[in-house]
Amino acid sequence: MKEIALTASMRSNVVSLQLTEALINRTQDRLATGKRVNSALDNPTNFFVAARHTQRANDLVGRKDSMGEAIQTIKAADVGISGIKTLLESAKGLVESARSATTADRSALGTQFSQILLKINDLVEDSDYKGVNYLENGSLTVLFNEDGTNALTVTGFTANVGVSGLGVVASGADISGGGSALDSASSQITVALTTLTTQASILASNLSVISGRLDFTTDLVNVLKEGADKLTLADMNEESANMLALQTRQNLGVTSLSLASQAAQSVLRLFG
């Protein structure tokens, strides 16, 4: 069969309708997705730059989670330090009470002193967070940027009582015995409290660094996502106006095609 021949005006209207339909489909996609760049075909430069921004933002979100966990680890250690301080102050109170106590009372105070030291060690053991315990000389490296080149290693200390830890070597027997042992025990506890204050300050400094970096990373992620959006997002008001204009153009095109068709039909009526 031979192809149907269209008049020049009809062919022009058909081509115009096809172009309008393509524009309508594109606008519908933008309205549906909210983006004017949905693939590299729409705008290669914007698409790939936005993709890099988005990938970096996603990588940094993972770092944010790690920094958040590192902060919680330090907080767990800080809670432990506060608890140890409270127990040491109680132990120091027992020492002072033993100075004026009877032999029988000092024996009871010595038993309480020993129990407190045991509880301090228990508290140290329980101050871990996700397997990291800064009170048992634990260490954790916190990565800040996406490739891990910027980092901070936080190292704890040994908070157990004893020579290898806080240096509290006095025992309940020393408290029961009284005399110069009480002065030694009091001095050891004072030094231990000073050590805890110093270590708490170091941890607080590291916490400040990590918290500051976490805030910075949060802001940077927002900047990257905003940059990606500006390269790809569509102006919904503009696209809605485009859709109305294209629908009007389509209706006019159909009307124009109908008029062109009527012109051809009028020629046929000459042979009627």
Q: What is the full per-residue pLDDT of the chain (272 aa) written as tens digits?
A: 556 555 666 667 667 767 777 666 766 676 666 677 777 777 889 889 999 999 999 999 989 999 999 999 999 999 999 999 999 999 999 999 998 988 899 999 999 999 999 999 999 999 999 999 999 999 999 999 999 899 999 999 999 999 999 999 999 999 998 889 999 999 999 999 999 999 999 999 999 999 999 999 999 999 999 998 888 766 567 667 766 776 776 676 667 667 666 655 555 555 55
d(CA 128, CA 130): 7
Q: Report pLDDT for 73.
A: 96
**What pairs with residue 35 in β-bridges?**
233
Closest CA to 129 of 37, 41, 203, 26: 203
For residue 226, what are the CA distances in angstroms to 146, 219, 231? 18, 10, 9
Position 7 scores a pLDDT of: 60
Helix/strand/coil for 233: strand
Token pair of 120 as six digits = 């301090």
Query: What's the first-to-final CA gap in the chain, in angstroms?
Result: 25
Instruction: Please report, for the chain, how many H helices and E strands are present, in that order.
Output: 6, 2
Question: Which residues on adjacent β-strands are paired with residue 158?
Answer: 136
Dihedral-angle region of residue 110 (phi above 0 means left; psi in -120 to 50 means alpha; beta otherwise): alpha
pTM: 0.75
Taking CB atoms within 8 Å and a gap of at least 24, the contacts of 148-153 are 152/206, 152/209, 152/210, 152/213
- With beta carbons less than 8 A apart as the criterion, state whether 221 and 54 touch: no
